[in-house]
Amino acid sequence: MSDLTRIPAPDGVAAAAQYSHVVVGTGRFVAIAGQLALDERRRLVGEGDPAAQARQVFENLRRCLAAAGATFDDVVKLTYFVTDMAHMPAVRAARAEHIPDDRLPAASAVQVAALVRPEFLIEVEAFAVAAP
């Protein structure tokens, strides 16, 4: 695990409810491509089910981080791409299974018209700073 400092509310900035405004770390930079709700056989998990898709996306992120020698504790930034903002509670619930509230990374959420295939509802990319 790298040494990270999270700043949820810098002076003069409105407090963040579901993320940290700033995360500072030292170590190895790890970039994880946007993950979709595909299992290891490239099959969609949770067609039409944002909660099932979000759980699979976060499981894929966990596996990608592990491959880089990192964990969710090392994540400094998440970007959520959703086809409907109504899916964000499912995304937050899946995130909460992996990242406790006292270690929230910086984050952005973007509603998009579509992802790479119409059956995908959620995509999440991650940046981490892992121990050297």
DSSP H stretches of helix in 1-132: 50-67, 88-96
Instruction: Give me the pLDDT at residue 18, please.
Output: 87
Q: For residue range 17-52, list pLDDT tens digits in order.
A: 889 999 988 899 999 999 999 999 999 999 999 999
Domains along the sequence of the chain with CATH: 3-9+27-130 (3.30.1330.40)
Alpha carbon of residue 128 to chain centroid: 10
HSE of 106 in the Cβ direction (CA atoms, 13 Å)? Answer: 16
Q: Are 67 and 38 in contact (CB under 8 A)?
A: no
Provide the percentage of residues in the chain whose pLDDT is more than 90.
83
Instruction: Give me the pLDDT at residue 1, please.
Output: 61
